Structure 1
Amino acid sequence: MANTQTDTPAVLPGELRSWLADELPRLIEAHGVPGAAAGVLVGGEIVDVAAGVLNLSTRVEADTDSLFQIGSITKVWTATLVTQLVDEGLLDLDAPVREYLPDFRVADESAAAAITTRQLLSHRAGFEGDLFTDTGRGDDCVEKFVSGLAGMPQLFEPGGQFSYNNAGYVLLGRLVEVLRGKPYDQALTEHLIQPLGLTHTAPGPYEAILHRVAQGHIATGEDGALVAAPVWALARSNAPAGSSLAMRAADLLAFARMHVEGGAAADGGRVLSRESVAAMQEPAVEVPYIGLLGEAWGLGWEIDETPVGRMVSHDGSTIGQNAFLRVIPELGVAVTLLTNGGDVYALSRALFDAVFDRLTGTRVLAPAPDPADAGPDPDAETAARFVGTYSASVMDVVVTQDDDGALWLQPSIKGELAALAPAQPAERVAPYGEHGLIQVEGTGGVHVVYAFLDPGDDGRYRFIHTSRALPRSA
């Protein structure tokens, strides 16, 4: 894998740190974020800063050794554990998962028998994946979780399309457990955290409490004021998908550096083969355009082509904490932002644009979706293609058209997550491109695009895509 770090402009680490130390406090104040840590890998060196507070109740200040949860960025760690098994000849990505987990079941028996590890890694398994069952805190919690997948409905045939799947990554975590003969947290520690020399990374709350740790914050009440979240982490059973892994920015960038350096740790030890690093960064499936995800997905990574080279990335969110990671391997550059509440998406965009401009002199990230590019309200016949109810176990989305012809979209969180997510009002949407609807108002300058897929014989779309493919139910 090419690593052309000398192609980046000469930015001295001290200058970059000084600039970040000035910029991050200004940005978090502007976007109502209690605390954050940011870091940059460039020229083989890591520069990191922190600002704000870890908890609005205690007012403990954030510093560069503070741990923030990385949420679903954990999936790249799980994918790395899986590809290590490929390197060792213990796993064939294209063999049915049942060759290794014979008890694996979902509602569709033929799909369960066909799903492969490669499909799980690239979110193409096709079964509904937002399951967050708490199966306890014991070392058997992942095993119990996977047993609970037996009733999960199949949305489309395996390999048919992209649909983000948390449960699929828990299944991958169980695969690691079985082939390693140890619990997921132990495998993560022994095969990634320790080989990478990470000193401020915690698989769960029992390890995190030994460090200075961020608390998530959520908006409550009519004024949207932030308060500390009622719990720190999601269930341990979801650990392979991103329920509790926490670390400082420098440790996350050390993990990214291993993927930049072809699988080598900072001490030169081999963590992953160059071939597996390259395979993880190759597109496996196109992703419907919603404005918040990559153009494609590889084996764990989101993927975008940029003017300065291929970018691999991932975001993560837990209860009131959000994390962002962008990596351009060809330049030897990685940028991360870890936060604990507030208008984090607008903050991340502002920070990444500014950092990449300093490092490359180029606008690296694609322009955000702009409602100014939306089309006019459709007539009733055209609107009928979108109008309806789309449902999954954790979320309903209802699209309606009012008497004036305007389209409205009402998302509703269901199940155990409903208590942790504020109720969302109906939002005005407008046609965007050939198969999308965009938020007219948006939040914090971010306007999500809802993609609609697979029109039937009557022209009505069968799926709405919100990163998950939600099937039409009415």
Structure 2
Amino acid sequence: MAQVETIRTWVERRMPELVAAHRVPALSLAIGLGDETIEFATGILNRDTGVEATTDAVFQIGSVTKVFTATLVMQLVDEGLLALDQAVRDILPGFRVADADASARITVRQLLSHSSGFEGDVFVDTGAGDDNLERYVDILAGTPQLFAPGEMFSYNNAGFSTLGRLVEVLRGAPYDRVLRERLLDPLGLRHAAVDAEEAILHRTAVGHLRTAAGDIAPTTVWSMERSGSPAGSRLAMSARDLLGFGRLHLAGGVAADGSRLLSTASVEDMRRPQVRLPDIDQGVAWGLGWELFARDGRVLPGHDGNTIGQSACLRLLPEEGVAVAVLANGGDPHPVFAELVDDVLREVAGIGQKETPAASGPAPHDAGRFVGRYESSTAITTISRTDDGRLWLDRTPRGVVADLGDLPYRTELVSWRDDVLLPVDPEGGVRQPIAFLGDDGTGRAAHLHTGRADRRMDS
């Protein structure tokens, strides 16, 4: 196929340039075009050891794991063991957050679509034993409710750990074992690891973080806590294996060997919009596990992932039977991912390049709605205004993300769209728009939203 060779030539020519320009230590990708596959790897997996990347190399896939967890949940739905609009408490009677009413109302569908409304970044290590998720769900009892269940979207890692526990209870086995027995092994994913003990058996990438001096150095911690596994703290695999999972969804739930792992109806349900996202230049909606991206009138299911110095991207173009899986271990990989996806979409479907957000003017003169202090479990963000009318964002990491090396971030904010402002300085190579939503009762925004709804704390 001429199309395959065109993309292969572009990859081999352009990817080394992009990797170098964005200081990415190593990158691996796999592109599925129908039955054809393009694979490519370049760079160093660990700058301390000098081990080179190959297409068999294993990288952490971070939050792309959430689509695996959602698939395990939908298998339960297929078998009649679970209903999407069932209350979580029906399966996990001890499930509760700080808000008693919300605790009783939160449904499986809301967990899958990040619309349950409770604080989602609860990074607590509950041990390495098989009871880790049971103990994790117990510690959620003090977690604050940010908004009523189903009211809006706010990315929620804790919700997916809760789903992992739900899978355990209904399957009668630890999450990691269910993942392997129900997905990894049936899909023939030979270069996949559920933890560091399995990863060490492979050619494995180490994450690299930016130091205070601006250098890129290997992390001293390979993965986060086991209780975050269903949300993306530990699962690692090759780009080829991640592509294999993507192809399961392209094939309507049928694995390469012809076995059915998920019903066609569940595959379609996972791609159906459940909740709209704020206008922050990410997806337009969230399905059941999948983020839904809009491009030239088309909807692309996908998911991104970030762990300790590692990043992943998976995108599907179902009508053309196309999937793109790309993995990296540090630097600023997201612009690299974006250019690769843009090229594939243009070549196979004539889809135009995604526009980069551009400022529409300086910060609004009446910026009182935005100014204030917003908090989550992972950051304190202050929006302030200087005497010359300029608006500034200062974000200080807190908790586990600070411990793992996230650095403070300061940038000026300028106008973009209505109550959505744009940072002047990129973070991780990306200028992420920031939405200010709701009303605290005084006309000021109740939430600062970058994918997560951080609460105003200076009312």
Do the two structures share a fold, i.e. TM-score over 0.5?
yes
Cα distance, 1:15 vs structure 2: 5.1
Q: 1:70 — aligned with what?
A: 61
Greater shift, 65-74 or 194-203, is seen at: 194-203
Pick from 71, 78, 81: which aligns with 2:72? Answer: 81
The answer to whether residue 408 in structure 2 is matched with residue 429 in structure 1 is no
Alignment CA distance shift 1:466-1:360 (3 Å): same
| Amino acid of the structure 2 residue aligned with 1:282 | R
Q: Is the 8 A contact 2:295 2:351 kept in 1?
A: no
Aligned residues of 1:11 and 1:359 also touching (Cα < 8 A):
no
Q: How does 1:271-350 map to 2 (within 5 A)?
A: 271-291=261-281, 293-307=282-296, 309-350=298-339
Partner in structure 1 of residue 357 of structure 2: 369
Please say if 1:263 is aligned against 2:267: no
2:24·2:331 contact (CA, 8 Å) conserved in 1? Answer: yes
Q: Give the distance between the partners of 1:456 and 1:104, measured in 2 at CA.
A: 29
Residue 440 (1) aligns with residue 430 (2): no
Which stretch shows the higher mean deviation, 433-442 or 305-314? 305-314
Q: CA deviation at 1:425?
A: 3.5
Tell me, in whole angstroms, the C-alpha distance in 2 between the residues paired with 1:220 and 1:237: 27
Residues 308 and 387 (structure 1 numbering): CA distance in 2 closer, same or farther, change over 3 Å?
A: closer
Checking the alignment, whether the CA contact within 8 Å between 2:333 and 2:429 is kept in structure 1 is no
Of 21, 27, 38 in structure 2, the residue corresponding to residue 30 of structure 1 is: 21
Q: What residue number does 2:202 align with? A: 211
Deviation, 1:457, is 4.1
Q: Aligned to 1:413, which of 397, 401, 418?
A: 397
Question: What SS is found at the alignment partner of 1:448?
Answer: coil
Q: Distance in 2 between matches of 1:458 and 1:399?
A: 17
Q: Does 1:39 align with 2:65?
A: no
Counterpart position of 1:5: none
Q: Deviations for 1:192-218, whole angstroms, at most 9, x for unmatched residues?
A: 001111111111111111100000000
The 2-side partners of 1:149 and 1:456 are apart by 25
User: Which digits, 9 at most, give the CA deviation of each residue in 1:393-451, with x for residues without a partner?
Assistant: 22111000001100000111111221223422421011221111101122465211100
Contact 1:368–1:446 (8 Å) recurs in 2: no
Distance in 1, matches of 2:363 and 2:227, equals 45
User: Structure 1 residues 416 and 441, CA, compared in 2 at 3 Å: closer, same or farther?
Assistant: closer
Quickly say closer, same or farther: Cα 1:165–1:443, change in 2 above 3 A: closer
Q: Which moved more, 1:254-263 or 1:16-25?
A: 16-25
Match of 2:119 among 119, 128, 131: 128
CA shift at 1:30, angstroms? 1.5
User: What is the DSSP-based 3-state SS (H/G/I as helix, E as strand, rest coil) of the residue aligned with 1:432?
Assistant: strand
- Contact 1:309-1:330 at 8 Å conserved across structures: no
* Over 6 Å off, 4+ runs: none
- The answer on 1:168 being equivalent to 2:159 is yes
1:147 aligned to 2:147? no
Report Cα offsets for 1:282-307 as digits up to 9, x if no partner: 0000001222x211000000112323
1:390 alignment partner, SS class: strand
Runs (5+) with no aligned partner, structure 1: 1-9
- Rounded to whole Å, the distance in 2 between the matches of 1:447 and 1:276 is 35
Q: What percentage of residue pairs aligned between the two structures are identical? A: 50
Q: CA deviation at 1:458?
A: 2.5
CA contact (8 A) 1:46 1:253 kept: no
Give the TM-score of the pair, scaled to structure 2: 0.97
8 Å contact kept, 1:437–1:449: yes
**CA separation in 2, counterparts of 1:95 and 1:451?**
31
Distance 2:68 2:432 in 1: 27
Structure 2: distance between partners of 1:160 and 1:451? 16
For 2:367 and 2:295, locate their aligned partners in 1 and report how far apart those are by CA, in whole Å. 34
**Counterpart residue type for residue 376 of structure 1:** P
Task: Point out the more displaced range, 202-211 or 345-354.
Answer: 345-354
Q: TM-score, normalised by structure 1?
A: 0.94
Counterpart CA distance in 1 for 2:90 and 2:409 is 46
Query: Quick check: 1:286–1:296 contact (8 Å CA) kept in 2?
Result: yes
SS in 1 for 2:18: helix
Backbone CA RMSD of aligned residues? 1.4
Unpaired stretches in structure 2, ≥5 consecutive residues: none
Counterpart AA for 2:111: L
What pairs up with 1:13-24 in 2 under 5 angstroms? Answer: 13-14=4-5, 16-24=7-15
Q: Output the CA distance in 2 between the equivalents of 1:354 and 1:57.
A: 33
For these two proteins, the number of residue pairs brought into alignment is 458
| 1:161-201 Cα distance to aligned partner (Å, 9 max, x none) | 10000000000000000000000000000000011111111
1:370–1:447 Cα contact (<8 Å) kept: no
Alignment correspondent of 1:158: 149
1:112 counterpart = 2:103: yes
Match in the other structure for 2:89: 98
1:11, 1:165 → 2: CA distance? 42
Q: CA deviation at 1:367?
A: 1.3
1:396 match: 380
For the residues of structure 2 that align with 1:444 and 1:395, how far apart are their CA atoms?
16
Per-residue Cα deviation, 1:131-153 (whole angstroms, up to 9, x for no partner): 11111111111111111101000
Query: In structure 2, how many angstroms separate the alpha carbons of the residues matched to 1:445 and 1:185?
Result: 33
2:184 is the alignment partner of 1:193:
yes
For residues 308 and 266 of structure 1, do their structure 2 counterparts lie closer, same or farther at Cα, with a shift above 3 Å needed? farther
Shift of 1:12: 5.0
Code of the residue aligned with 2:115 in structure 1: it is: R
Q: Is the 8 A contact 1:327 1:334 kept in 2?
A: yes
For residues 24-56 of structure 1, give each alpha carbon's deviation from its aligned partner in whole angstroms, at most 9, with x where no partner exists: 222111111000001111022222110001011
